[in-house]
Amino acid sequence: MSGLLSCSLTNASVLCSGKLIPYHSQASQPVFGTLHNCSEPCNGAFFSQEQVDILHYSNLVLSCLSIITGCIILFLYLINYCKIKHPEAPIYYIAGLQLVISTMQLISGLYGTFNSMSSTNSSSDSEGLHCDDRYKNHFNESILLQDGGDNPFCLTIFAILYYSFLSILSWWTVITIEWLVTSIKRKQTKKKYLYIISHIAGWSIPIPFLFTAAYLNAVSGSTTEMTCWISRRNESQYQLAFIIIPLSISLTFNSILLLLGFWINCKKGRHRNSLYLSSRNEEVTTPQLARVSIYSVLQLVVMGLLLMCYLHQYWYQRDAEINYLQFIVHKHVSSCYPHATDNHFMFFITAILRVLCFQIMGVVLLLWILRRELLCTCRYRCKYTNNKNNNNNNNNNNNNNNNNLNNLNVSRSLAGEQSLSLLTNTPPRKS
């Protein structure tokens, strides 16, 4: 069976049956299963057209929703720029990065939609950014883009997406570290020192991963994201190195820091106490730390679910591809599509969850920020209105008191003059 599953240029057209399309790979790694010169179509070998449409339109809808929420968050950040300080400020940076990811996802989705609408062949599927129309089968299906580094537009979209994704992980780690340090010390460190260190870590950590992935040409089309993403070539080792490992490290590190911070706060009983120091010293209050910890826990849940989706794909993708090839060989299928197995539905579920995890964090951030901003705004407005009314009442009372005091002084002065006139027999002074 291993000999049958080794695809060469001579027998590629024989083994590339079912949904597979012959493809002359420029890389030495297998493209599909153990095959080097067979590629799945851009809609994927395991997805039906209905499932692809669900993925495509759900991605577009969630991208639009995330972009709207990101714009609202950006507006709130701009009008409250001076009030937002560490450790809450990086959360708004993550919201901006989420806005960039959603925008790139929307551009990729609209690119495929417009190409599909402008296609002259009605049987042609959506020629998205993740498709390579240089190779097509007799169903007029394009292959899934394999060498994404050769496509400048694809490489640009990938660079923006991947850098934003890793920047979210790095900034999340920075937020958790600042939360832990601040919850222990209960005061901010030097602002300039904290600002420089956090920004260097948040923006520079993703750069080595990005350049390494681009140098190895670990870029290909992704049916799930409908855009250019980390390739599954080389037995999915690229996804292991550039997605699963960084995501696992970030999840583990942040989980340890969160548990350590909760344990320290509970041990010292600081979750019951608030600060009594002056706000002029820029001390961090307990509600601020509580809001940051809530955000970190929400981010932990979303990223943990995303990691589970990638682990499922990494563990079962190769076995599913091998079973797919064995099914083709045993059934001698040449042109008809093989029936989906039980594992293929799980691939669709994990694909939906991946799309949801990439887009839902923007909505969660908006709900988190709106709750904070609305409460702060309402409290400020109420406090400002009450203070203004109290000041007006105090001013009126002071004016009345001053008038009464002046009248009293005048009355006393007149009474004194009358008494003096009686004693000296002189007429009193006319007022």
Given a cut of 70, whether residue 431 has pLDDT beyond it is: no
Given a cut of 70, whether residue 376 has pLDDT beyond it is: no
DSSP string, 46-70: S--HHHHHHHHHHHHHHHHHHHHHH
Whose tokens are 């009193």? That residue is: 428
Query: Comparing 287-296, 329-338, 411-420, which segment has the lowest mean pLDDT?
Result: 329-338
Residue 162: name the closest of 358, 321, 408 by CA: 358
Q: What is the pLDDT of residue 127?
A: 63
Calculate the CA dihedral of residues 364, 365, 368, 373 and round it to 10 degrees: -140
Cis geometry, peptide bond prior to residue 87 (ω within 30 degrees of 0) = yes
Evaluate whether 268 touches 183 at the Cβ level (below 8 Å): no
Domain ranges of the chain: 50-129+150-378
Give backbone dihedrals phi and psi of 375, rounded to 5 degrees, phi first.
-65, -45
- Supply 166's token pair: 């890793």
Given a cut of 80, whether residue 98 has pLDDT beyond it is: yes
Given a cut of 70, whether residue 147 has pLDDT beyond it is: yes
Q: What is the pLDDT of residue 166?
A: 95
- List, in order, residues 6 or more apart from 412 with CB less than 8 Å away: none
Per-chain mean pLDDT for the chain: 72
Domain 50-129+150-378 sits in CATH at 1.20.1070.10
Q: What is the pLDDT of residue 332?
A: 46
Q: What is the pLDDT of residues 267-290, one digit of tens each?
A: 766 444 444 333 444 445 566 677
Distance of CA 375 to the CA centre of its chain: 24
Residue 53: name the closest of 63, 62, 43 by CA: 43
Segment 384-411 shows an average pLDDT of: 57
Give backbone dihedrals phi and psi of 190, rounded to 5 degrees, phi first.
-60, 130
Give backbone dihedrals phi and psi of 228, rounded to 5 degrees, phi first.
-90, 130
Q: Place 2 in a pLDDT band, splitting at 50, 70 and 90.
A: very low
Count Cα neighbours of 12 within 13 Å in the Cβ-side half-sphere: 19
